[in-house]
Structure 1
């Protein structure tokens, strides 16, 4: 059983629906770009793919028909959103559970393309000008940009947004904005963002994709208390209808200000996006079989392998197929909460990992369709291999006294079991590691010197995880660990995760093609260890890792970024704070055969609801027109 992905903060702009445009300005990259010159886009490394006045993104389909409805359960989400339920329409705060894709209501100053790893193009902004000291960025706003209320997006709205998010926003937003020290409205259509001087180009790019909200809406409404009343936006979609916990419908705005601009043309073909919420995956699958849902990405290996045998599949009405993965980092790991002292010893984490027999689980529960992950950065060039290269050693050596010695040796990889489900050699090694950490068997229990039992509760929000990982828990029990599952509903899961109230949870994220400082700090940085709502689920706080994150952040080109990320990977695998779990090499999707789409996918994102369209002839043949 796989895990659906949360998106990193950097991916927010790629998921938002109504975004960027172009201007007749120089097509220069970020690091090499001129100062004091209006630009239409920025790139962390190298030149931009798209010139000024580009007609559309290459992956767009401007000749595709518009209309119809797309019904789906979401495979990914951001910030405080949940795919299981929702009780608020404010996605910008920590409190509550918001519906996925509500970001489609909002535009940003800039947005990313899906076929470049680190580029942004102007959206609400018409142009961006970099100051000579590269610490300030002045944006000229588009006069066409309007909120769904009809009001023009002004510099005051941008100032309000950034100041409010920095002070009161979701922790992920606060991390992104930490080096932004001032924001000034220089004119109704001009705003200047000022940084501390500690930021890098990558830090700035993360800031510019922040969604903009209207200041006037909050004249009589507290930002943190918004719930049943949606915050207006300037994006492609607006909310048509919803019922908390059951469904939400987003309707395409007929008056959307940027629909003919290069960034938006040929995207967002459906008039309505309807997201259904199910607390149980089995019920969600039954809804798909009945046609209540018409697209589904499958994350349950048993379902994929054996349950797509219903009549609609046999008749060809439902298509089951695999799509290639994007060129992005796949992060899927277990998080043992080191804020609880018994998990702080590396030997304990190594021992617990040895109790998971991937080979047995893959053969008996996963139907052989998953791969065992060695790294937090699977499916990317950032995954380290073998011993450190000279380039990696140049990064690691100055930090040797802060790093584990294992980081300078052959990189850690997952041990391979005999596939029996009870590899005695591995279990003896697990007991040895527990003993080194002060936990020994006594009366069938693992206890410490004070006679306290070693307990481990695996918190889950879907019963399917209990079926898939029951062998893991049974193995832990067999060597004396007081191991159990804790099944909670989606809202409780989110709340407990936010305040770090768990022993073990599973976490999955897309880190994009260019992991940024805010993403890495959110997962691994000392400053987020005690920041409730952050993604630092393991409770990491290590000076050596912090220093490596800064090396990554200061990379001047993609090669130096790759070497720094590989050095970081070596240290993360040597420490094993996050325990790499499993990954898949493809998307497994099923859909009712009523859609059109381009076979060629963009390399850095796959928002099906943006890229596909309704094929009226196919829909009529299915009786769904």
Structure 2
């Protein structure tokens, strides 16, 4: 849902010019293009007919049902209040859309032509004449201007931070809009402004955008909200009058006539419902379920297909995340000490059936992961902040604490206690206390009760260090609200990454986001060295420098011990009832479920 808002970028190059000059400056000859690429050339030329990973002749029709967890109370995913319905992004289009087989390229969707000068200080989009909202009114430049004003002023704080470097948005005429950017070398902005869902001014102008609502909104996308049962299910219907159905970027996509999300409050019940045929497609995230739950007659007879699909995406960092706004987690020695209590090797063997790899990097499964000592080129990036970072950044390759996997944690506990002693904590009659005599205790906040089997062994090891830990499991609404207010000690969460990290790194790690409610800086990082490297990464002029700056940032995050790394897998685990047709070519960087179809 709206995942495109969080995709990442670096440097842009204009490619495959259409030869329609429309604007010129003293130092820039600017042409209209059909798409823009991050690095190098676009894969698809101006006259392409469809993406390679789609079947342009895929039949339209049928119904697909998926599961969702928790509940929903809103159709507005752009604000901090409420819990939006799954799939709501299906009703919206942006100016551009991403190709799923390129690291980061955008092709015109609502926009027919794009203009971008060499210095990247502005970008212009020409909106297609046929583009319209679901009520039949045209999409105009005024709607684009209004959308960004609305999101930045009344939407989630994310939008204000993510698009802070836009200095002006101008409607040049009814169908042409121009974005002007600050001189910050923020090279991803021209791409990410195109991804924002465009909202109709005539619908929102007289409504309260800041409050959750189940009023059915208007969009310009391929689907409409067909029906819903608040908090229980929602069904989208393919718009028979969708204006963009024949565009090359849409050929072979959005094939289901009806797309339903059924909500479940318990993951075990959701799996049983799938096995019973209550819904059609499932992506599995639990190793135990994958190893033991996908068996039976339906699987043996081929009525349910079980498949692992490898991908080339960075897996980011899933971890125990410590809220450094809490005093007990403010010292990196303490954070590193707690990391010694997580026995991944035993957990992977005893609980996960050996399914996972240990994560050490914030950019796992990519060339941006810092897995070797810094190169001379990377040292040049790190040298200006040498006095602000741990010395290990220059001297060692980070590895999360490891064990023999036999459940014997005596050595790890001893190492943890030494680190805690260095930080001023003392083990007194089995209770760890600080200099003021206060015991070390905290709470782990969870949204899935199934995760307790992973957390409980971790807690037992922490108790051997004299630390008292409790678990609190809450529903999704309370969980979201507590995260927005940073009302937690420790959680299990993840920081996803793309092949081209960019602006979202500010939201993850930058000091500016640490105290802003609703940001993704869940850790509460306020570190000038991290701030410096984030800005360096965003301003990377080419792919090589992007990779080097990402590795430098990775090292500084690693050696500050902000998280306790967990694990990752570089494939999608999916199961589906044997009713689907699937394109022969799979996209490299996405699952591509929107390219599947129901067999007649």
Q: TM-score, normalised by structure 2?
A: 0.95
Q: CA deviation at 1:284?
A: 0.5
Q: Which residue of the partner structure matches residue 77 of structure 1? A: none
- The C-alpha deviation readout for 1:211-246, integer Å capped at 9, x for no partner, is 100001123211112511132111111111111211
Aligned residue for 1:141? Answer: 127
Residue 502 of structure 1: which of 477, 480, 488 is its match? 488
Give distance in 1, aligned partners of 2:401 and 2:493: 21
Pair 1:55-2:41 in alignment: no
Paired residues of 1:336 and 1:538 also in contact (CA < 8 A): yes
User: SS in structure 2 opposite 1:323?
Assistant: strand
> Is it true that 1:585 corresponds to 2:570 in the alignment?
yes
- Corresponding residue pairs, total: 589
Q: Paired residue for 1:346?
A: 332
Question: C-alpha distance in 1, partners of 2:274/2:38?
Answer: 41
Runs of 5+ consecutive residues of structure 2 not aligned to the other structure = 10-15, 22-26
- Residue 303 of structure 2 corresponds to 317
Asked whether the equivalents of residues 413 and 464 of structure 2 are also in contact (C-alpha less than 8 Å), the reply is: no
- Shift, 1:204, TM fit: 2.5
- Take 1:219 and 1:185, find their aligned partners in 2: how far apart are those partners? 17
Report matched runs for 1:185-334 at 5 Å. 185-334=171-320
CA offsets 1:518-567 (integer angstroms, 9 cap, x no match)? x1111111111011111111001111111111221122221111111111
CA distance in 2, matches of 1:585, 1:177: 31
Deviation at 1:11, TM superposition (A): 3.3
1:37 is paired with a residue of what secondary structure?
strand
Equivalent residues of 2:171, 2:178 under 8 A apart: yes
Alignment of 1:527 with 2:521, yes or no, is no
How much has 1:7 moved relative to structure 2?
4.8
After TM superposition, give the deviation of residue 335 of structure 1 in Å: 1.1
Contact 1:356 1:472 in 2 (8 A): yes
**Helix, strand or coil: the match of 2:470?**
strand
Shift of 1:399: 1.9
Give 3-state SS (helix, strand or coil) of 2:7's partner: helix
Deviation at 1:457, TM superposition (A): 0.9
Per-residue CA deviation, residues 109-132 of structure 1 (Å, 9 max, x unaligned), is 112110111211111112122257
Give the equivalent residue in structure 2 for 1:99. 85
Q: What SS does the corresponding residue of 2:32 show, helix, strand or coil? A: coil
Normalising by the residue count of structure 1, what TM-score does the alignment of the two structures yield? 0.91
Partner SS state of residue 42, structure 1: strand
Q: What CA deviation, in whole Å up to 9, does each residue of 1:314-371 have, x standing for no partner? A: 2221111211123334331221000101101111111111001111111111111111
- Name 2:384's counterpart in structure 1: 398
> What residue is the counterpart of 1:431 in the other structure?
417
CA contact (8 A) 1:12 1:209 kept: no
Pair 569,133 (structure 1): closer, same or farther in 2 beyond 3 Å: closer
Give the match for residue 18 of structure 1: none
Q: Deviations over 1:591-619 (max 9, x none)?
A: 111111124321111131x0211123xxx
Residue from 543, 554, 558 that aligns with 2:543: 558
Aligned equivalents of 1:282, 1:198: Cα separation in 2: 49
| Residue 177 of structure 1: aligned partner | 163
Structure 2 residue matching 1:363: 3-state secondary structure: helix
For the structure 1 residues 35 and 283, does the alpha-carbon distance in structure 2 shift closer, same or farther, using more than 3 Å as the test? Answer: farther
Match of 2:521 in 1: 536
- Could you tell me whether the CA contact under 8 Å between 2:73 and 2:230 is conserved in 1? yes
Computed over aligned residues only, the root mean square deviation of the Cα atoms, in angstroms, reads 2.0
Task: Pick closer, same or farther for the CA change 1:12–1:313 going to 2, 3 Å.
Answer: farther
* Residue 11, structure 1, aligned to residue 16, structure 2: no
Larger displacement relative to structure 2 (352-361 or 170-179): 170-179
User: How far is the alpha carbon of 1:37 from its aligned partner?
Assistant: 1.7
Confirm whether residue 601 of structure 1 aligns to residue 586 of structure 2. Answer: yes
1:372-393 alpha-carbon deviations (Å, 9 max, x no partner)? 1001111111111221111211
Match of 1:614 in 2: 598
Rate the CA distance shift 1:473–1:25 in 2: closer, same or farther, 3 A: farther
1:371 aligns with 2:365: no
